[in-house]
Amino acid sequence: MLSNYIKEKQKKLNQKSDFYTSSGLHVYFKEPIDNDDVAIEKVISDLEASIPPHLRAEVEMIVVGTFDEFIERHINALYKDGAIYVSNLQDDNQDLYDDLIHELAHSLESPHGYFIYGDERVKDEFLRKRKNLHDILWARGFKAPVSFFMDVEYNEEFDMFLYEKVGYETLASIMMGMFINPYAATSLSEYFATGFTEFYINSDHKYLKKLSPSLYQKILLLQKQESLDNQS
């Protein structure tokens, strides 16, 4: 038991505190990843191979660890000021990959927000789904003001209504064929980020294209540098 503890402690001490990818992305470990099966260098290499450089330009650093905001907001990752902060508690490579791509999506909203949201097609699509969700929930006895559903910004009270009153398991069933997942319904920003994540983790885009055609078209154009340059 003692020898195992010493080996584990030594392994963590020997783990790199940081490294740089070939593209110059700085990865810093505030705390080591608490799962030996997670290969972060491979995950980031796969991400850089999958996502065009112009969609990664805003992210200069990835910081791995546990942060107060994760606990306060019940999240695993966030994007802020050119850095993605991601939890060191990861189930597997796919879990980490999903977190990183999701926050990469949020990094695009400031520089390309007008392109994404300016013509309001994504917003209108989102609100149509929200209104439909309101009507379904109301009919099932989950009553909340329609104003909750028409607010595109994140609202903690609305999030708690979905999470605590309705429950994500029930929502997952109701939202099938409407939203990618329950989290996509929490705000317009998350609607975009979950769609972006789905676009890059699933090579077959048929479901996303059918489910959210306006969002799919925006992401498709974002992927193309020439379209981004012409319309930003």
Shared domain check, 163 and 98: no
Shared domain check, 175 and 192: yes
Shared domain check, 84 and 35: yes
Instruction: Please list the pLDDT of the chain residue by residue as tens digits (232 residues).
Output: 544 544 454 445 445 689 999 999 999 999 999 998 999 999 999 999 999 999 999 999 999 999 999 988 888 999 999 999 999 999 999 999 999 999 999 999 999 999 999 999 999 999 999 999 999 999 999 999 999 899 999 998 898 898 889 988 898 899 999 999 999 999 999 999 999 999 999 999 999 999 999 999 999 999 986 544 555 4
Are the C-beta atoms of residues 15 and 65 closer than 8 Å to each other? no
Write down the pLDDT at residue 10: 40
Q: Which of 80, 107, 134 corresponds to the end of one domain? A: 107
Shared domain check, 156 and 78: no
Shared domain check, 173 and 95: no
HSE value, Cβ hemisphere, 13 Å, CA-based, for 117: 19
Shared domain check, 184 and 221: yes
Crossing angle, helix 109-117 and helix 121-139, to 10 degrees? 80
What's the token pair of residue 92? Answer: 């597997």
Q: Which of 107, 130, 148 corresponds to the end of one domain? A: 107
Shared domain check, 184 and 123: yes
Shared domain check, 120 and 103: no
Are the C-beta atoms of residues 114 and 106 closer than 8 Å to each other? no
Q: How far apart are CA 146 and CA 131, in angstroms?
A: 8
Domain encompassing residue 142: 114-231
Write down the pLDDT at residue 227: 47
Close Cβ partners of 36 (under 8 Å, ≥ 6 residues apart): none
Q: Is 80 helix (H, G, I), strand (E, B) or coil?
A: strand
Q: Which of 44, 72, 107 corresponds to the end of one domain? A: 107
Shared domain check, 94 and 161: no
In 3D space, the residue among 86, 50, 33, 85 whose CA is nearest the CA of residue 196 turns out to be 50
Q: How far apart are CA 176 and CA 135, in angstroms?
A: 15
How many angstroms separate the Cα of 41 from the Cα of each of 81, 181, 193?
Answer: 22, 28, 23
Shared domain check, 173 and 98: no
How many CB atoms lie under 10 A from the CB of residue 215? 25
Shared domain check, 119 and 204: yes
Q: Could you tell me which residues are beta bridge partners of residue 62?
A: 27, 84
Are the C-beta atoms of residues 113 and 188 closer than 8 Å to each other? no
Amino acid type, 168? Y
Q: How far apart are CA 192 and CA 116, in angstroms?
A: 9
What's the structural domain count of the chain? 2
Shared domain check, 196 and 95: no
Q: What is the DSSP letter of 153?
A: S
Q: How far apart are CA 22 and CA 47, in angstroms?
A: 12
In 3D space, the residue among 83, 97, 85 whose CA is nearest the CA of residue 44 turns out to be 97
Write down the pLDDT at residue 163: 86
Q: Could you tell me which residues are beta bridge partners of residue 28?
A: 18, 63
